[in-house]
Structure 1
Amino acid sequence: MLSGRVPDLSAMLLLCAVDRTGSLSAAAHEMGYSQQAASSRMRSLESQIGAELVRRSPTGSQLTQTGRLVAGWAKDVLGAAERMDFGITALHERRAARLRVAASLTTSAHLVPGWLVELHRSQLRINQRPTDVELITGNSEKVISAVRSEKAAIGFIETPELPKDLKHRVIGYDELVVVVSPEHPWARRRSGITLEQLARTPLIAREPGSGTRRALELILADALPGLERATPAVELSTESAITAAIGGGLAPGVLSRLSVADDLALGRLSAVRVRDHDLTRPLAAIWRTGRYPSQGPGRDLVAIAASVEKAA
């Protein structure tokens, strides 16, 4: 739950515009506000945060030290909002879709929006009309099915079992992390747990067909052949439901670090080290035929995804 001190996006945009232009009047003009409206908005923002953010002078406006700090945070939030905007637009685009992309739930929530933003920007840089993208989401099994049936030209999956009848390119790797509620005994175990302990523990799991679940199953089967693994404590189909159940103390779970980064940073969940094994899985792009995806935005998107993940 956010406190009442968190400003809305338009206030963040105004603060960042003042930082960029060095002038409240220039920022007001850029955002379509009157000078009076911008000044009123800034005073409201300072009152909401409880600190002076902008120091005004006859030569312009400069952010205070606190203002620069808040503007830095605001830029992170605005970047996330931009990625969300592109993701939602792609999710609901139906009328003139030129590129259909299917993505597993983890990649569609945490990676694909950023890749789409970069595709859009790269096309604008060369004066090319941005591609309309339709985003289809589901678990890895459903993504593979969508590409096979030509409902999607490109798919992004997170399972080690890459389909032999489709072409693929590994674009990066994702870390799986064991997470528990802060009150769970494992949270206080500095030495971590063994892979066998993990295998024998009933976990909160994704549904069959999930890349996250299948990746863990394959890791356990490869490292501990013949070991009878515990059945899941419960199966849930969304990351939010799983994190809520883990945080509530129902049972441990294994999720992508991407999906639990905020929960770990805010102390809502605790990560548990598996001391004798590395839990990673490949992130892959898939398509139907050819050594590379067909020339065009699909190939460009795969290249962007690979370059972004390599840089990360």
Structure 2
Amino acid sequence: MDTEALRSFVRASELGQLRHAADELGVTQQAVSKRIASLERELGVRLFARTSRGVELTLDGQAFLPHARSVVTGADRAVAAVRPGSRALRIDVLGLRSAQAVVLHDYWRSHPELDLDVVTLKVDDPRAAVAAVEAGEIDASFRSVTDPATLPRDVQMIPAFDSPLELLVGPGHPLASARALTPTQLRRHRIWVPGIVPRSEWADFYDQLVTEFDLRIDAAGPNFGNEVLLDTLADSADVATLIAARDRYLWPVHYDLRRIPIVNPTLAYPISLLLRSSNPHPGLRGIIDHLGTLAALPQGAWRPSWASTGPPG
């Protein structure tokens, strides 16, 4: 089986676009498409469904991905074994517009010499990210395990940074004109967060948020992506959602969406970093130091009970 075809499949699945995978691999989009088509013929299944926005894994593709990633990782390890220090630092983020990706990009702009590979594992259970770190498939992951006692011996979780929440609403929402809001003012308003996955860290986060502040979190319906969510907010007079202050969202100007800080107390989502306890990638030290320079939360901010405390170390 062609290793480069597997590599093309893995990168296309992580990036969602053949063109982006081709750019990263230094080949043409046609070459990536041919490699994947050849792989599909060899396996006798379709790995991707083509959409207007790129490609999405089929069920067979989802089943094949972890095995393909393991083969590619093994090949990369074999090369690294004879070329020490040549491998890029590979870090998993929840999304390329997430607060974690924004913070990483800010660091990389000041340190462009760092060979950095930012990936997004298509997993919701943080235990899968832990397994990828433990196996050496990635060097670190911006994920949180709400019960740190379950971590394997060679994986540690350190606090990365806290991400204050904001309310995102359309211009017709009753709270749209507010400059800041308290959690009490959010009560009785529908906060739509579709696709909350059981056993995920954010499921635990929202459970505690609802219990603490009596908020109305609506997780009904599948998650069709940010575009559908933003479309809904722009047209709605009663739907809002919660986003992180550093998250990067883009929408048409005529949507006129409003990002409103939440205060008294600030509601913060704690972001952690998973990495190997022994022999971590040397490029991680600079990133961890950078995380320690980020602005602290205001006094009295609310964080869930499982949040780690203290600066990155």
Q: Does 1:282 align with 2:270?
A: yes
Separation (CA, whole Å) in 1 of partners of 2:248 and 2:227: 9
Q: Give the equivalent residue in structure 1 for 2:112.
A: 120
Q: Give the equivalent residue in structure 2 for 1:100.
A: 90
Q: Does 1:270 align with 2:262?
A: no
Please report the RMSD computed on the Cα atoms of aligned residues, expressed in angstroms. Answer: 4.1
From 277, 287, 308, the counterpart of 1:301: 287
1:225-281: CA deviation from partner (whole Å, max 9, x where unpaired): xx6955424342644443333223272111112225766999722245656532112
Separation (CA, whole Å) in 2 of partners of 1:295 and 1:160: 21
2:90, 2:138 within 8 Å by CA — same for their partners in 1?
A: yes
SS of corresponding position for 2:142 = strand
Q: Which has the larger radius of gyration?
A: 1
Q: Give the equivalent residue in structure 2 for 1:135.
A: 118
Q: Give the equivalent residue in structure 1 for 2:242.
A: 254
2:99, 2:163 within 8 Å by CA — same for their partners in 1?
A: no
Q: Give the equivalent residue in structure 2 for 1:174.
A: 163
Any gaps of 5 or more consecutive residues in structure 2? 1-19, 26-71, 77-85, 298-313
1:264, 1:270 within 8 Å by CA — same for their partners in 2?
A: no
Give 2:209's aligned amino acid.
I
Q: CA 1:110–1:191 in structure 2 vs 1: closer, same or farther (change >3 Å)?
A: closer
From 152, 172, 175, the counterpart of 1:186: 175
1:27-69: CA deviation from partner (whole Å, max 9, x where unpaired): xxxxxxxxxxxxxxxxxxxxxxxxxxxxxxxxxxxxxxxxxxx
2:191, 2:242 within 8 Å by CA — same for their partners in 1?
A: no
Q: Does 1:155 align with 2:138?
A: no
- Which structure features the higher share of helix residues? 1
Give 1:253's aligned amino acid.
T
Separation (CA, whole Å) in 1 of partners of 2:207 and 2:242: 11
Q: Give the equivalent residue in structure 2 for 1:232.
A: 219
2:102, 2:248 within 8 Å by CA — same for their partners in 1?
A: no
Any gaps of 5 or more consecutive residues in structure 1? 1-87, 122-129
Q: CA 1:115–1:153 in structure 2 vs 1: closer, same or farther (change >3 Å)?
A: same
Deviation of 1:306 after TM superposition, in Å, equals 3.1
Separation (CA, whole Å) in 1 of partners of 2:179 and 2:291: 35
Q: Give the equivalent residue in structure 2 for 1:7.
A: none
2:161, 2:270 within 8 Å by CA — same for their partners in 1?
A: yes
Give 2:112's aligned amino acid.
H
Separation (CA, whole Å) in 1 of partners of 2:99 and 2:242: 16
Deviation of 1:167 after TM superposition, in Å, equals 1.2
SS of corresponding position for 2:190 = coil
Separation (CA, whole Å) in 1 of partners of 2:232 and 2:163: 22
Separation (CA, whole Å) in 2 of partners of 1:178 and 1:311: 20
SS of corresponding position for 2:265 = coil
